[in-house]
Amino acid sequence: MTDTTARVYELNLYRQYFDLVAAGTKTIEVRVKYPRLADLAAGDTIRFRIKATDETCDVQVLRVTEYPDFEALLDGEGPPNVNPTATRDQQLANIRTIYGPEKEALGALAIEIERLGRDIGVS
């Protein structure tokens, strides 16, 4: 029998992306396909945190889609869903600044998220 209990993942976010998630305007989170995220699935919760602060924002995972690289992810998901304040080329450059080529080679995850109704603050 498999365990279908939803899990809570804690992930750090830069302020600019955190604010977009908190506002509900960023609906796709981009991550490298790290082994620790292999089981991430619809129904799970992600608690985003701004590193070294108590500010958090909880979202529900609606869908996880794998892509071979960041370009394919942006083309498949649509840049406005990833970051409505930046062009596709700006986003690609920003993502590749965060994740180098060796990490991109692991594959990319598009995580469709929906903000949960909790207030931002100390959890």
Distance (Å, whole) CA 3 – CA 67: 26
Query: What confidence tens digit (pLDDT) does each residue in 98-109 have?
Result: 999 999 999 999
Question: Token digits for 45?
Answer: 């919760």
Domain boundaries, the chain: 8-115
Give the mean pLDDT of the chain.
92
Q: Of 62, 87, 67, 90, nearest to 77 (Cα)? A: 67
Q: What's the pLDDT at 5?
A: 76
**What is the CATH number that goes with domain 8-115?**
2.30.130.30
Residues 117 and 51 sit within 8 Å (Cβ to Cβ): no
Query: What confidence tens digit (pLDDT) does each residue in 27-56 have?
Result: 999 999 999 999 999 999 999 999 889 999
Looking at the chain, the whole-number percentage of residues with pLDDT higher than 90 is 88
